[in-house]
Amino acid sequence: MFMSKKIIIGNWKMNPSSLMQAEDLFKSIQKNISSKIKTDIIICPPNIYLPSFAKTLAGKEKLKKIFLGAQNVSYEEKGAFTGEISAEMLKDIGVKYVILGHSERRMMGEDNFDINKKIKASLFAGLVPILCVGEKERDENHKYLNFIKNQIEECLNGVVKNSVSKIIIAYEPVWAIGKNAKREAIPKEFLEMSIFIRKILSDKFGVKSIKKTKVIYGGSVNPKNVLDFLKEGEADGFLVGRDSLNPKKFTEIIKICEA
């Protein structure tokens, strides 16, 4: 598993504050990426910057390993839904991936049933969903395992077997994220959770259906802990938040995965 091709996702969230800054950041990342790179790089900027980035990537062979991702999508196809963007719209401008169920979206009131509809809409449009799951805290009675199981089962309810391999699962322990993090997660904890997630998927869809499903880690990812999560945690890749806004650190993470 350690030798398999990795996926690195940069979630820029609501950053940076201008198109010029966003383009400079995007170009800085591009410059440090080799055309022979094997790792898939997915950049998820605010939706307003996606059309500009799509033009930059169009027809450039050197940038063929960089893909665009959105941070959210509507589950509605079209209609009177002010402020929403459909999966078809994202697909039309060159977006390939979409982050769904991020802990910050869940804190805004999004639930598993909303995410389930968004996953189905994304798959129907040809987008690759990046499903985020993770517990707010770890209890001694291991009730958090049932919490994760419930998240996965409800978010993937009704998804057909043939589509499961197209979904990326991002495990992000909420207690290890951001300024209020209690502590950093360790590779052993991710490995155990990755095995548990694959067991849930296997029970639901069958072993053959999930062979290509990737489970990545997201939670204060930085150049200092990436190698341990690759070796000891056997991560298929990373969902990078804060350090994806730092070209030097982000490309360092990529280089570690390549090496």
Rounded-to-integer distance, Cα 194 and Cα 184, Å? 17
What is this structure's pTM? 0.95
142 classed as catalytic? no
- Residue 34 near residue 43 (C-beta atoms within 8 A): no
Q: Which of 76, 102, 142, 189 is catalytic?
A: 102
- C-alpha to C-alpha distance for 209 and 201, rounded to whole angstroms: 9
What's the burial of 130, exposed, middle or buried (CB within 10 Å: 0-12/13-18/19+)? buried
Residue 59 phi/psi, 5-degree rounding, is 75, 10
3-state secondary structure 18-58: CHHHHHHHHHHHHHCCCCCCCCEEEEECCHHHHHHHHHHHC
Location of structure tokens 């909303």? 114
Annotated active-site residue in 104, 110, 172, 189: 172
Cα–Cα distance, 183 to 219 (Å, whole number)? 10
Nearest to 219 by CA among 247, 186, 257: 186
Burial of 58 (0-12, 13-18, 19+ CB in 10 A): exposed
Reduced to 3 states, what is the DSSP secondary structure of residue 83?
Answer: coil
Which pLDDT belongs to residue 3?
53
**3-17, 127-141, 173-187, 204-218: segment of lowest average pLDDT:** 173-187
Contact 179, 173 (CB under 8 A): no
29-33, 147-151, 195-199: which range is least confident on average?
29-33
In this prediction, residue 243 has a pLDDT band, given cuts at 50, 70 and 90, of very high
**Which letter does DSSP use for residue 256 in this model?**
H
Told to judge if 84 belongs to the known catalytic residues of this protein, a careful annotator would answer no
For residue 63, name the pLDDT band (cuts at 50, 70, 90): low
Span 60-81, mean pLDDT? Answer: 89
What domains are there in the chain, each with its CATH number?
Answer: 7-258 (3.20.20.70)
